[in-house]
Structures are given as C-alpha cells and as structure tokens.
A and B are shown apart, each in its own frame.
Chain A
Amino acid sequence: MNTAANTVPLRPVRAPSEKYLAYLRRDRARRRNIRIAQALLLVLFLCAWEILPRMHVLNPLLTSYPSALWPTFVELWKNGNLAHHIATTVSATVVGFCLSMAIGIVVAAALWWSDFLYKVLDPFLVVANAMPKIAFVPIFYLWLGSDYAVYGMAVAIAVFVTIMVVYAGFRGIDLNKVKLAHTFGASRWQVLTKVVLPGSVPTLIAAVKMNIGLALVGVIVGEFQSADSGLGFLIMNGSQVFKLNIVMTAIAVLALISSLMYLAIYRIEAAVARRYG
C-alpha cells in the first residue's frame, strides 16, 4: 500500500508557477498529439481502402471501398431492415453479456466459498474454456432453437473465462483485509459482500471489458448459423450471394458498435479508477 507518497494532504496551493504552467501546456499538447495521430491513422486507413481498390491495386470486388458502402448502408437502412438487424445483434449481445457476467460472478463466488468445489471443478473449467465453442453452434441450434441459440453461443464463449478471471480476482483480495473482517466476527457472507465483492471491482471491470467483446463474438458466430436476422446473418447472407458491399457495411457497423462499447467501458473505468486507483 502506497502511503508514503501522500504524507502531506490538503496543503493550500499557491498560484501555479511558470514552470508548472509550461508543464501543463506540454501535457496538453502531448494528449492532443495522441488524438491527432489516432485520427490520422483512421483517415489513412480509410483513404488506402478507398484509393487502392479504385486504382485496381486491390480487387474492388473482394474489398469494396468506403464510398461504395454509404449507398449500401442507406439502401439497407431503407429497404433491408438494417435497424432491425442492428437491434437484434445489440440486444442479443447485451443479454448474452449480462447472463455470462451474472453466471460468472455467481459461480466464481461459489468457488470462492467452497475450496472443495473449486478443487473439484478446476480441471473441468480449464477444459471447458479451452474447447472451441464454435463447434457447438449446430448443437445449440438443435437444443435451443434458432431464437435462443445465439444467446447460448454468447454465454458459452464468454462465461468460462469470466468465471476464471473473477475467481482469480476474488482470490487476489488481500487476506489481511479478510482477517480484519474476521476480527469483528464477520460471517462468510459478510466477508463476501463487504470485502471480497467491493474489493474486486477493478477485476470486475476487467471482466466486463473482456466479456462484452466475447459476447459479441458469440452472437455473430451464432447468427452465422442459425438466425434469420442480425448482423451475423447479414454478413453470411451477403457473402453467399457475393455482395461484398453488404458484408463490408455490416462489418463497418460492427466496428462502430465496438467503438461505442469501448467508449462506454472507458467511461465506467475512469469513474471507478478515481476511487480504486
């Protein structure tokens, strides 16, 4: 625990010195440059994607290009139920994410509760996590039907690694904090709710980060096979009829969804980091 770094809290601050202001300016400039570089990278990529196929360096049939996507996007939005496809994928991802997060936390808590259970289940979890879940798509289709197979896939892909990450976080809690709770006579449940769970928030955030991406992977893979709507269906369908514009548009929309998810998590993480450091 880093206590020495902060030995004089709350000292009144004088007017900032010239050197400090220069430091702030440098810091701001640096952050601005990072943003500019990121934007440039994106623009460069889009330009290359636009120009290379048009110059026939790349085969435009295989890669399409950004300016061709926009009409496809508008067309799909108007006549192809794109909004419906997006809503299907996003809602399935959210449901799959919530389910695997909830299952992951409950199972991890159970494993934390009973070391016996952990010892018994550990090899099975490792094997289950290592299994290529995509192999189960046809089985989920049979078991759960076309509506629910997508959720099954999202949970199957995300849940095992969530369990392992969250459990590792629970185990990583400083045992002296647990001992402290025990000195006050805390029950196991109190240790879980007052020490282990709140102390694991940074781990839970890490699990959320990983989980949401995996849930999206599961949904798309599930939609390839079983769904009649969703972006995964659009991608599969588009490639089967060799309309790369549709495939690329769906992928671009997925990239957009991923960016929004990234932003949301970034916000949550920043809010949490303020308290947990």
Chain B
Amino acid sequence: MMGAAVHSLKPAAAPAKVELREVCLSYFTPEGETEALSNVSFSLAPGEFVSLIGQSGCGKSTLLSLIAGLIPPTSGAVMIDGQPVVKPNPRIGYMLQQDYLFEWRTILDNVMLGAEIQGRRDARSEARAVHLLEKCGLGAFLSHTPRQLSGGMRQRAALARTLVTEPDVILLDEPFSALDSQTRLAISDEVVDILRREGKTVVLVTHDIGEAIAMTDRVIVPAGSRASTASITKGRPAPRRSRPVPARSSTPISRSSGTSWTYTWRAEP
C-alpha cells in the first residue's frame, strides 16, 4: 500500500483520494465575521490513515464537515477522487463524537439508517449490516434497543452504521471521547483493525497525541495555534508543502513506525 511517503514527497505520483485546496471558511453572524479556517491544503492517498490534532476550537471538526460536504467552503475546493464535493457523498462515511443511536430503533434498524436514507435498504444491505454487526461482536444484539447496550457496544454499532453504506473515506470525529479510558483503548484498536482490513482512507480527529501516533500513518497539525476570530484575517497562502520533522518519518518503513509529522493546515496571518 502506498503510505505517507508518497504523499509527502511526490504528491503527483498517486491520484489523491481526498484533496483540500486552499480551503477557507468563515462564519457570518450579525455580530461579525468569524474565520474558522484559512488556506488549508492537504491531500490523502487512497488507503491512508491520518489524524488531525489540535486544541479544541481550531477547526478540526469543521474540516470534517467540509470534507463530508455538510458545509461548503467559503473559498477553495474539497475534492474526492478529483471531483469537487458539493453535498454529502455516499462515498464518505462520517462517524460523530457520540453514537447518536436512535432509541426508537433496534440496533439493526439503527445500522440500516444510512442505507434507508440513501434508498438502498434491501436484502443485500441488510445482510451486510448483519455481517458488520457480527464483526463488531454485536451479532447477538440485532433486535436490542440502544439502551440495552453499553457505551462501547453502542460505539461499535455506530461504526457498523457508518460502514454499512460502503464508503471508501471514513471521517472519525473523536469517536472515542465519550468512552471511559479502558473501553476506549479496547475499542480504538478494534476500530482501527476493522478499518484497515476494509482498506478505507481514514481521517481521525483527536486531541490525544498518543492516540494519533498509535493509530495513524501521518499526523496533521494546524500551523497556526488557534483559529482566529474577529474580523477578516488576511491570510497569506499557507506553505503548500508539508514539512516532515523527524527524519525517519519521511519514508516510513512500516505502518506501525510510520507516523510522519506534517506541519501544514493553516497559515499564520
């Protein structure tokens, strides 16, 4: 598999799965204009597993919403397989911070939500849902309600719900932050395993550096420390290319040792 190395030195070698080109995002309210992101550029190779880390409020979750097509960028472009993202795309799966399982649906029906919304609820997708739930160790809980499950089980059900629509890009927004630390360790290993086996391109948002290094091929951190608020910030273009810091990381030998540090994402004004 092509890893971070391809990306950091020769971005043109492989077509990017996900690419952000000078993405800016501002929120407009009667009180003023808030710039959440300015000139964010990075790209992910197919099958790559990266994490975005940074303090809260630096726009990590906003980036995921942009990639998922939930909000349009104020300027710049988000591309999936070279196609601009303008609305939620079935090729992208987005796992939120909490499970948000619907208490009025059974576990199986919860997992089928995405397929149902996309008008693909049929025997095939249902079989896939059952298969995924079995893989997540929830095969015996198909007709239970979410309340009957523990936090870790619920999070695994949420993962199955994300995967059932067969996306190739998975966005994880601090998916383990609601769990206690023991469950968290167990679940995160499991989730990484499942996602790797499925060959997904994954973006993990976290504020836990340890988790980021342990789980992913490459870590992306914001170049500026904090998202600037207040009126318009004139951002000069970000340094376009990433700057691998630890020397070993520019050509990772294997996935397990290959976390490369990429200082990009946003420019200082």
Contacts and interface: CB of A to CB of B under 8 A. Distances in A.
Interface of A: 1, 3-4, 6-10, 174, 176-177, 179-186, 190, 194-195, 198-199, 201, 275-277
Q: Which 10 A-B pairs have the closest CB atoms?
A: A3-B151, A183-B94, A185-B88, A184-B114, A184-B117, A7-B150, A186-B117, A198-B104, A180-B100, A9-B148
B141 to A, nearest CB: 8
Given A3-B150, A3-B151, A8-B150, 15 more contacts: A1-B99, A4-B151, A6-B150, A10-B148, A177-B102, A180-B100, A181-B113, A182-B88, A184-B88, A184-B118, A184-B165, A185-B88, A199-B104, A275-B104, A276-B104
A275 B116 CA distance: 21
Contacts of B178: 3
A9 B150 contact: yes
B98 A181 contact: no
> Helix, strand, loop or mixed for chain A's interface?
helix
B68 interface: yes
Contacts of A185: 87-90, 117-118
B79 interface: no
B154 interface: yes
B113 A184 contact: yes
B96 A179 contact: yes
A186 B165 CA distance: 13
A155 B260 CA distance: 67
Interface string B150-163: 11011000000000
Contacts of B99: 1, 3
Interface in B139-173: 144-145, 147-151, 153-154, 165
Contacts of A201: 104
B192 interface: no
B190 interface: no
B166 to A, nearest CB: 12
Contacts of B117: 181, 184-186, 190, 194
B73 to A, nearest CB: 17
B103 interface: yes
A274 to B, nearest CB: 9
B70 interface: yes
Contacts of B102: 177, 195, 198-199
